[in-house]
Amino acid sequence: MDLIYRYDPFQPIVVNRPTSAEEAVQALVDGNRRLVDLVARMQAATLGEEGANEAVIPISPITLGVPFFPGAVLDQEPFAMVLGCSDARVPLESVFDKSFNEMFVVRIAGNVLGTECLGSFTYAARNLGRNLKTMVVLGHTGCGAVTAAVNTYLEPNEYADVGFTYALRSLVDRVMIAVRGAAKAIARCCGDKIESHPNYRAALIEVAVFLNAAITAFDVRNEIGTVTTKKLPVYYGVCDLQTMRVTSSPVTATTTSGDLRPAPHDASAFQELGRELVEVLIAKGVLD
């Protein structure tokens, strides 16, 4: 299978920059769908299945977001701010099939919201606001920071090295509210005895990954709202490492599309989200 990037200066490519938050979110979801489709095609080729043996991707300096002429320098014009995890398997531009000058990115383990992260987004919201249409928090399945928080929650004595390392503890502490929320959501749906279930730890991690992204999105919206008058709708999602699909609910066998969801607005919305996440895991057979 050949992946071909093709540039023809005599075949200009029209670039449609998002003009609203809805268009911006759709551009990210569409970009992720292109990645998911490409991954599926390559996996099919790996398995020797029949199908197209080449994919042609038209490019130009404009679509790449690099200078069109030698010596030119572009203004910074991202249409989305994105906060994601530092995990090497989740490069944000690649996950959303975006290029130079399209996303203002901060990556930090566990996609938590520290002061410096917030400062970066505040700068962007104040100074790059003309083209910015939305803000997205992206978590991912199997997140190491969330796993560390779950391990510390379940067995604090076994993972004392995390608890007694100031820098690591500051990360884990920020994720812990999502872990506690996940534990409560699972207990509400399945009862306290579920803690002895062999999949309990895995379920706790999966639910906490989604809640953590949603909580960070909630925090970003509140904090950005106090430092700028620009109203930036804040969304969240989670990248599933098996398929690379971004969704707002765990991927199941029937999942055929991706999505991003607006940050919850209050405690009851978080409770409802926790219930929904646990019900998906029950339907998947992870919990029963």
- Contacts to Zn ion by CB under 5 A: 85, 87, 143
Owner of token pair 């076994």: 158
Q: Which two tokens stand for residue 208?
A: 């906490």
The minimum distance between CB 150 and Zn ion, in angstroms, equals 12
Helix H or strand E encompassing 58: strand 54-58
User: Based on CB atoms, which residue is closest to Zn ion, 90 or 186?
Assistant: 90
Q: How far is the CB of 114 from Zn ion (least distance, A)?
A: 15
Find the Cα–Cα–Cα–Cα dihedral 77, 33, 236, 276, rounded to 10°.
Answer: 170
Contact 107, 239 (CB under 8 A): no
111 or 131: CB nearest Zn ion: 111
Strands 134-140 and 80-84: parallel
Residue 276's identity, in one-letter code, is: E
Query: Considering beta carbons, is residue 87 or 102 the nearer one to Zn ion?
Result: 87
Q: Provide the strand spans (E) within 159-198.
A: none
Beta carbon nearer to Zn ion, 103 or 143: 143
Give the three-state DSSP class for 186. Answer: helix
Identify which of residues 143 and 287 has a Cβ nearer to Zn ion in the complex. Answer: 143
Q: Which CB, 131 or 248, lies closer to Zn ion?
A: 248
Could you tell me the smallest distance in angstroms from the CB atom of residue 60 to Zn ion? 34
What backbone phi and psi angles, to 5 degrees, belong to 7? -115, 125
Q: How many CB atoms lie within 10 A of CB 127?
A: 11
We find the least distance from the C-beta atom of residue 220 to Zn ion, in angstroms, to be 17
CB of 32 to Zn ion, least distance (A): 17
Shortest Å, Cβ 215 to Zn ion: 15
- Residue 6: strand pairing partners: 58
DSSP state of 229: S
